[in-house]
Amino acid sequence: MCGIVGIISSKEVTGRILNSLKKLEYRGYDSAGIATLVEGNINEVKCEGRVEVLEKDITKFNLKGDIGIGHVRWATHGKPSKINAHPHSSEHVSVVHNGIIENSTILKKFLEKKGYEFKSQTDTEVIAHLVTEYLKKNSIKDTIIKVLKRLHGSFALGIIFKGQSNLMVGAKRGSPLAVGYGPNENYIGSDSYALKSMTNKISYLDDGEFCIIKKDQIEFFGTEGTKINKKVMNLSKDAIDYDKGDYKYFMEKEIDEQPSTITACINEYIDKHNKQINIYNFPWKISSIESVMLIGCGTAFHSCLMAKYWMEQNTNLDVSVDIASEFRYRKVKFKKNCLYIVVSQSGETADTHAALDLCKRNKMKTCAVVNVIESSIARDADLVLPIYCGQEVGVASTKAFIGQMLVLYILSTKISFDQKCISRKEYQAKVDNLLKLSNAAKKTLKLDQKIFNVGKTFADAKGSMFLGRGYSFPIALEGALKLKELAYVHAEGYPAGEMKHGPLALIEEGMPVVVLAPRDEHYKKTISNMQEVIARGAKVLLITNNNKDEVISENIWEKIEVDQLDDELIPFLMTIPLQKLAFYSALEKGYDIDKPRNLAKSVTVE
């Protein structure tokens, strides 16, 4: 999604804006641009494509300045092109925007009648002209108050003004905006990561707020222009130096990091000595919770679905799951003793945030399972359970999925024991099993060569299916999502038992199908479903856990065996070969693994 940076300083800023834009590349984008003020005049350089292209153009045009704004754009209104790239400038102002202006068509008509001419197809250009129009009769502060009131939809904005080299404006509604404090210079950025090389002192704007930033002063205002104070946060330094190390791709590194991220997370939540789970900050009586609603998008939704299986198995809770973009618009009947859990790696996903907001407005108990602890979702939920994965850069979520599942499993086990659904002995056995997980994940990573070999078949396929029952069903959905987003191969995740109700018609000679069949209560049934697809010509990659005594079928194309572990924890191990499968399929096709086409890491528009 779009990313914003702004710097006001007494030193040259273009190089640092470029560096910060590089930090925002992980969000996914298709064009980039920078505008600075040189002797009070607006100068901009924009391009379609990557920040490296922008960098070359900036050198070519020798763009300089002590104040500037930069942007990476993920197209919403208007195709990716130089003309649609941000900043969008009028003669008097230059604007960068993340979000969507829903009433841009109406505003455009209003401005066209006043004689403004539009160059781009974007919704953002209206902001530049609207600000210009209001500036005719108002101060900068009053202009911003009036303009923000006219904008419908979501935005994070950075604005610079012709002839005003001493100030820059930031504003937010819906999309995130961080404000950073530096030595005789100050910054804005879409997230703290963009600013971390310059400062670890950050404030976050809340919805409706704006700020006027000078190099030695930042003033914050509410919707009506009343001055407000903001909390300054000191950020941890842990993510500052996150890089690829010896890896070619972040995703590859992030997959391989999973045994250590599992350990890091377990160390935070498990008291190994007393074999118990510590969630110290739980603000409610666990016994008072009667139901749980889990909400997320994409991979996070899959971890929610996984948690439903665990919670139903181990607690008396009534458990529901929903996709955030559906939940937020349904006529949900909120329940007093329900815990609403939102799951999000970035903590900035617009739909998930809106779902959380809806729960809060209905005065519900809210919990956020997030990776980025400084994120908007983490700041707004009553209870935050971090997944402790460290920064995830690859657009395809891998270690965060494992981390989300882990935290949700830990929470489910804690509720199960506290609500007396399992004995202390069973509880401690579950904790013991969790302590074996990191090692088992390490062993699973070694199955690499086999997956590499099958990757080519999946890469070349027209379509593929991922089947599983019970705990393996959410993992089948996740495996299919990974293949779709990385290798651009049509892939469907399906409950194995549903095949004969329709999708079996899709199976044809040579179609690669992944069957997830751990040796749990569903094993025999899943193997029967596997035989049904083999009989219709499918090439089956069976993923199971090892059992030396049994030969399952000679008609299986390939078999991968993960370690033996408690049935409930097998989903963690089953996930790893599927991540690798998608990775190798994309590698085979030479695709941009860390930044798949059309996708963004942080989905800040709905």
Residue ranges binding ligand M6R (CB under 6 A): 297-300, 344-346, 349, 352, 395-397, 481, 485, 599, 603
> Hey, what long-range contacts does 520-528 have (CB within 8 A, 24 or more apart)?
520/470, 520/471, 520/567, 520/570, 521/470, 521/567, 522/469, 522/470, 522/472, 522/496, 525/469, 525/496, 525/497, 526/467, 526/468, 526/469, 526/472, 526/496, 527/552, 527/553
Give, in order, the Cα–Cα distances in Å from 137 to each of 143, 164, 558: 8, 17, 72
Minimum CB–partner distance for residue 306 and ligand M6R (Å): 13
Give the pair of three-digit tokens for residue 122: 């974007």
Minimum CB–partner distance for residue 140 and ligand M6R (Å): 34
SS3 542: strand
Q: Which is nearer to ligand M6R, 42 or 600 (CB)?
A: 600
Q: Which is nearer to ligand M6R, 314 or 371 (CB)?
A: 371
Residue that has been written with the tokens 């205002």 in this structure: 221
Residue 178: beta bridge partners? 189, 204
Minimum CB–partner distance for residue 340 and ligand M6R (Å): 15
Q: Which residues contact 498 (CB under 8 A, 6 or more apart)?
A: none
Minimum CB–partner distance for residue 348 and ligand M6R (Å): 7
The question of whether 47 is a catalytic residue gets the answer no
Q: Which is nearer to ligand M6R, 254 or 382 (CB)?
A: 254
Q: What are phi and psi of 489, to 5 degrees?
A: -110, 135
Give, in order, the Cα–Cα distances in Å from 363 to each of 206, 207, 287, 340, 372: 19, 19, 19, 11, 24
Minimum CB–partner distance for residue 396 and ligand M6R (Å): 4
Q: Which is nearer to ligand M6R, 256 or 485 (CB)?
A: 485
> Hey, what long-range contacts does 52-56 have (CB within 8 A, 24 or more apart)?
54/18, 54/21, 55/18
- Closest residue to ligand M6R in the complex (CB): 298
Minimum CB–partner distance for residue 263 and ligand M6R (Å): 22
SS3 575: helix
Q: How far apart are CA 261 and CA 402, in angstroms?
A: 9
Half-sphere exposure (Cβ direction) of 543: Cα atoms closer than 13 Å: 32
Minimum CB–partner distance for residue 358 and ligand M6R (Å): 16
Give the pair of three-digit tokens for residue 310: 């665990």
Which of 23, 215, 595, 601 is labelled catalytic?
601
Minimum CB–partner distance for residue 331 and ligand M6R (Å): 24
Q: Which residues contact 244 (CB under 8 A, 6 or more apart)?
A: 250, 253
Give the pair of three-digit tokens for residue 595: 């930044």
Q: Which residues contact 55 (CB under 8 A, 6 or more apart)?
A: 18
Q: How far apart are CA 484 and CA 513, in angstroms?
A: 14
Q: What is the DSSP string of 385-452?
A: EE-------SSS--HHHHHHHHHHHHHHHHHHHHTTSS-HHHHHHHHHHHHHHHHHHHHHHTTHHHHH
Q: How far apart are CA 522 and CA 526, in angstroms?
A: 6
> Hey, what long-range contacts does 277-281 have (CB within 8 A, 24 or more apart)?
277/410, 277/413, 277/414, 277/417, 277/431, 279/385, 279/410, 279/411, 279/414, 281/383
Half-sphere exposure (Cβ direction) of 181: Cα atoms closer than 13 Å: 14
The question of whether 60 is a catalytic residue gets the answer no
Give the pair of three-digit tokens for residue 518: 């751990």
DSSP label at residue 228: E
Q: Which residues contact 415 (CB under 8 A, 6 or more apart)?
A: 286, 289, 311, 314, 315, 317, 421
Q: Which is nearer to ligand M6R, 297 or 515 (CB)?
A: 297
**Residues with catalytic function:** 2, 601
